[in-house]
Amino acid sequence: MKYLHTMLRVGDLEKSIGFYTEFMGMELLRKMDFPDGKFTLAFLGYGHEKDNTVLELTHNWETSSYNLGTAYGHIAIGVEDVYATCEEIRAKGGSVVREPGPMMHGSTVLAFVEDPDGYKIELLSVDH
């Protein structure tokens, strides 16, 4: 088995693609329109789908927003410097919703940012 992707439904596909490419450093890998179904899929990630788990953004053409519910938690992305990454995201106009610092009851440095649809992305300090 292999973990392939996580799918998020988004209200404004171009705005979401912009967030994940410009703010999170992902690459748009492919984008496909399905006119008969009135939806578009966009796949983004940090490398080719053959070798990496990716993010699938689904835009249903007649839906501009979604209720995120209470079950969704977050996507986690490892970064070298959580503090610097938050500053870069903030400088580009992004929303840092939990300032960088050690996690509660632990020492791992983390922060949370929010995408245009309100999905939370956890930034975790990772050693390379």
Same domain, 9 and 56: yes
Segments of the chain scoring below 50 in pLDDT: none
Q: How many domains does the chain have?
A: 2
pLDDT for the residue numbered 17: 98
What local confidence, expressed as pLDDT, does residue 128 receive?
54
**Residue 10 covered by a domain:** yes
pLDDT at residue 126, rounded to an integer: 85
Are the C-beta atoms of residues 21 and 14 closer than 8 Å to each other? no
- 80 and 48 within one domain: no
> Within a domain: residue 121?
yes
| 68 part of a folded domain | no
Which domain does 90 fall in, by range?
Answer: 75-125
Nearest to 43 by CA among 35, 52, 114: 52
Catalytic residues: 122
pLDDT recorded at residue 1: 80
pTM as predicted: 0.88
Pairing assessment for the beta strands 75-79 and 120-125 based on DSSP bridges: parallel
Cα angle for residues 25, 27, 33 (degrees, 5° grid):
135
pLDDT of residue 58: 97
Predicted confidence at residue 104, as pLDDT, reads 85
